[in-house]
Chain A
Amino acid sequence: MNRASLHFLLAALVAIALPLFMRSGTLASEVLIFAMAAAACNLLLGYTGLLSFGQGIFFGLGSYAAGLTLLHTSLPLALALVLSAITGAVVATGVGWLSIRRQGVYFVMLTLAFSQFFYFLAYTFKDITGGDNGLLNIPRPAIGPFSLGESWAYYAFVAVLFLLLFAALQRVASSTFGRTLLAVRDNEERARAIGFPVRNFKITAFAISGAVTGLAGALHALLIGVAPLSNIDYHMSESILIMTIIGGTGNLFASVLGAGFYVIVSDLLSSIWPRWLLLLGGLLIVVALFMQKGLWGLLERLVEALPMGRKSSINSSIESPIQPESEGRGI
């Protein structure tokens, strides 16, 4: 079995296992929704080497787009989701187009600035977004004959979308396009010197990432029935980035791990100890210092340590994008 099929199988296992081990369908849905957002973030961070603080923009706008469509029009749910993906893609293209004019720290600063800008836009246009209160009472219409009212029914819907998007992102990552992104990440100057218009590749990566993130945002708004201001907040960008980094930037499934870990652990800890974010900060430091391949890297090491592990080793394939040494380069 090749690497991509294995990872897809793992993603499918996660989608099947969550209902077996979790009591709340809402929390399970949240895991998969953020897994999509983190995988989309990984396409930029892990594959292209772009540390974008703009992911919250696309997530939040996706929430608003779906919310507004369902509140003010009678368009079907599927169309609302498509609209939010388009919104994410269009805005990501714009943000990307402007931000990639600079590299490294200045690129990061630009995405951060855009993040603040869109937050204040959402805050200011209270008539449209509901401002501080968020966009309330977003309905969750049925999709065809299937009612999504019950939380596990909605989970099933999210899980199907998650698997479809995961497969699509895998396809993107292994395409000539994805492999060129890895080259850009590795050595942008050489990529240009051998003929690739690097900016077009980066903008396309942004557009794809924005579409998936926008869709994830829409699913989140439908999940909780609200498009809250916090979905477009800078903290949303930060959370998505943290999930991606904790999971590991080496492959897309790592982002599923990262999102699952973040969502479940924050749910557990927040009920026990209100200052649980401190622990998360500590964990981030550990990841940055000792396990740059994130939870995925840890898993890999565990599998290799098993007696049977070496044979079925899941690492080392030419598609493996990231080596820890190059972490943080060319952001």
Chain B
Amino acid sequence: MSTQTPILAADKLSVRYGSFLALSDVTLSIKPNTIHSVIGPNGAGKTTLFHALTGRVRASSGRITLDGQDITHVSDDKRVPLGIARSFQVTSLFQNLNVRENLRLAAQGRNPLQALAPWRGVDPRDHALAVADEVMERLELTHVSDRAAGELSHGQQRRLEVGMAVAAKPRLILLDEPTSGMGIDDVEAMKALIRDLGRDHTVLFIEHNMGIVMNISDTVTVMRAGRVLVEGPPAVVRDDPEVRRAYLGNMITGDIA
């Protein structure tokens, strides 16, 4: 497995906000068809890492490659057709549009220029619509397909948030704290979903729930203060003394199934 070309790799990636170094020389490599999690205390730079990988913020230095191709200077919207899609930590939906339309747009985002034709209607047999229906089915949102995204419950909104990334049919899917603010039942469902997504996507996700992280990840990267502290399989990471110190010893408790 270690000899495979990584699907996504960051090489000495740094991001600077003014004089603050949010990300410092992060080197990361995501193997295809694995579930890779990023953990670390608040302010460790996890979300900044996601922003840099998806192109939302510009890297101050370093390189990002997708399948060996340099994408460091590719803008965020152009990375989607290349096969990278993400969800956000703070739910970011089209609040006034219904669930189906949210997902249709996300699916259309793979072929965005097609949507630039002002005369082209939305065909009922549209590919993007079919994808939207399929994703709704998978996320158990079909029964609310005509509701505005803003009217959904928190758990449903979080599922839709993940669905927006899934609908792009990416090869690499980045999920930023998919379970944030979820109730216990929803968390279990999300865990099953992420594991399921891992079957046909490469998944990179940020998570605070150690139960999920230790349970379903193939690789765990621990970050602190903008740097990578440790990286390895869950069992190794859990027992690493540095990690225990970073987390004050008491946060990593999840079982390894």
B232 to chain A, nearest CB (A): 30
CB B92 to nearest CB in A, in angstroms, measures 5
Residues of B within 8 A of A171 (CB): 118-119, 121
Instruction: Report whether A179 and B105 are in contact in the complex, using a CB–CB cutoff of 8 Å.
Output: yes
Show the binding face of A for B, using Cβ within 8 Å.
171-172, 174-180, 182-183, 186-187, 189-198, 200-201, 204, 208, 318, 321-323, 326
Chain B residues near A180: list those with CB within 8 A: 105, 108, 115
Supplied contacts A172-B119, A175-B118, A195-B109, 6 more A-B pairs, CB within 8 Å: A171-B118, A187-B92, A190-B94, A193-B88, A196-B77, A318-B97
Knowing A176-B120, A176-B122, A187-B92 are in contact, say whether A182-B97 is a contact too (CB < 8 A): yes
Cβ–Cβ contact B119 & A196, under 8 A: no
> Contacts A172-B118, A176-B108: A195 and B77 contacting too (C-beta < 8 A)?
yes
Chain B stretch 43-96: residues in CB contact (< 8 A) with chain A: 54, 56, 76-78, 80-81, 85-86, 88, 92-96
B80-A176 in contact (CB<8A):
no
* A to B CB contacts below 8 Å, 7 in the list: A175-B120, A175-B121, A180-B115, A182-B96, A194-B80, A204-B118, A318-B101
A198 to B116, CA, bound (A): 10
Contact (Cβ within 8 A) B96 A195: no
8 Å CB contact of B116 from A189, A193, A201, A323: A201
A187–B116 contact, CB under 8 A? no
- With a cutoff of 8 Å between Cβ atoms, the chain B residues found around residue A194 in the complex are 80, 85, 105-106, 109, 164, 168
Complex interface: chain A residues within 8 A of B97 (CB): 182-183, 186, 318
Which residues of chain B have C-beta atoms less than 8 A from A192's C-beta? 76-77
A186 CB contact (under 8 Å) in B86, B95, B100: B95
Q: Is the pair A322, B96 in contact by a Cβ cutoff of 8 Å?
A: yes
B22 to chain A, nearest CB (A): 18
Which residues of chain A are near B92, meaning CB under 8 Å?
A: 187, 189-190, 193
**From A178, A197, A318, contact of B98 by CB (8 A):** A318
Q: Which residue of A lies closest to B102 (CB)?
A: A183
A178/B112 contact (C-beta < 8 A), A190-B93, A194-B85, A326-B96 known: no
Inside 8 A of B85's CB, which chain A residues have their CB? Answer: 194-195
By the criterion CB–CB under 8 Å, are B86 and A193 in contact?
yes
**Are B121 and A195 in contact (CB-based, < 8 A)?**
no
Report B-chain residues with C-beta under 8 Å of the C-beta of A190: 88, 92-94, 164
Question: Which B residues touch A201, using CB under 8 A?
Answer: 115-116
**Structural contact, A197 and B93, CB atoms closer than 8 A:** no
Nearest residue in A to B80 (C-beta to C-beta)? Answer: A195
Residue of B nearest to A318 (CB): B98
Q: What CA separation (Å) do A113 and B182 show in the bound complex? A: 48
B141 CB to nearest chain A CB (Å): 15
- Of the candidates A179, A183, A193, which one forms a contact with B76 in the assembled complex, judged by CB atoms under 8 Å apart? A193
* Contact status B118-A196, CB under 8 Å: no
Which B residues are CB-close (under 8 A) to A200? 116
Interface contact A208-B54, CB-CB below 8 Å: no
In the complex, are the beta carbons of B122 and A193 less than 8 A apart? Answer: no
Whether B77 contacts A175 by the Cβ 8 Å rule is no
B80 pairs with A175, CB closer than 8 A: no
Contact A198 B77 (CB under 8 A): yes
In the complex, whether B159 has a CB less than 8 A from a CB of chain A is no
Among the interface residues B108, B148, B164, which one has the most CB atoms of the partner chain A within 10 A?
B108
